[in-house]
A = this chain, B = another copy of it.
Amino acid sequence: MREIKADIRLGDCVEVLRSFADNTFDLIVTSPPYADSRSKTYGGIKPDDYVAWFLPRSSEFLRVLKPTGTFILNIKEKAANGERHTYVLDLILSLRKQGWLWTEEFIWHKKNCYPGKWPNRFRDAWERCLQFNKSKKFKMLQDAVRVPMGEWAQTRLKSLGKNDVIRFNSQAGSGFGKNIANWLNRDLAYPTNVIHLATETGNKNHSATFPKSLPEWFIKLFTQEDDWVLDPFLGSGTTCEVAQEMGRNSVGIDIMAEYYHMSKSKIKEVDRFLLEESASYGKHNRKRNSHVHRKKH
């Protein structure tokens, strides 16, 4: 059985990454601590200090990313004193000065955003997914994230209990749901730069992570099997979990021991699951993500 590595490290990514060679990773996808949030875990970076805190780390990212690789940064500025913070804008400008290309800004449109009502503001239902690259010629596998089009497709998917078109696409691709494979093949369209996913709820293990489908989408788009994925702010381990399920090698780094152990145990679960699966089917199983979908159903 081919080995897929999920290397979980404890420490500050700026230090941990020093032991990694240049041009190692195909994709860096991460959701760093936002300014003034997760204050207990990362020392509570003030908005004014955020760029200065981030740049030494992104410098290492730049070094370990392959020339054809992509860096996806999921971030959103908070409101304070009636205004939006500008530190994310400053960060984009500073990253360009550091040598990054600001290739694209994807919008993650959150279907179930936090409720609330304020006299002069509506609920915040979106976050930025900023795409940075080292060169204009980066690897992008657009066909991997094509989605079915048409109204019938949308309602059919909803009736399956998953609003996630992408996931459904891979189900059909793995031979699960042959009844709809016909129109799937007929009506595939490329997505836009607006990603419409729900945040995951009911997850008691941790407080704040992105849903699995978000890193999954970018991993599909920017990597192939056996490629290397890095999440330097791993949090509860979502990125490595998804990467392993998808047959990508991954490195995840977090500074909090609590998150480190949580991620470690997740990866172990996946390993055990793959082993059982492999035994019961009595053969190699390249398409690991197929299990996951079957499980969820």
By a beta-carbon cutoff of 8 Å, the part of chain A in contact with chain B is 79, 81-84, 86, 89-90, 92-93, 96, 101-105, 107, 109, 113, 115, 117, 119-126, 136-138, 140, 142, 189-194
Contacts and interface: CB of A to CB of B under 8 A. Distances in A.
Contacts of A115: 189
A194 B109 contact: yes
Secondary structure of the A contact surface, majority rule: mixed
A193 B76 CA distance: 13
A83 B107 contact: no
Given A89-B89, A89-B93, A120 B136 contact: yes
Copies of this chain per assembly: 2
Contacts of A194: 109, 125-126
A151 to B, nearest CB: 12
Contact of A140 (B89, B120, B190, B191): B120
> Nearest 4 CB-CB pairs, A to B?
A125-B192, A82-B136, A123-B192, A125-B194
Contacts of A79: 104
A107 B105 contact: no
A103 B120 contact: yes
Contacts of A83: 101-103
Contacts of A191: 122-123
A122 B190 contact: yes
Nearest to A124: B193
A92 B103 contact: no
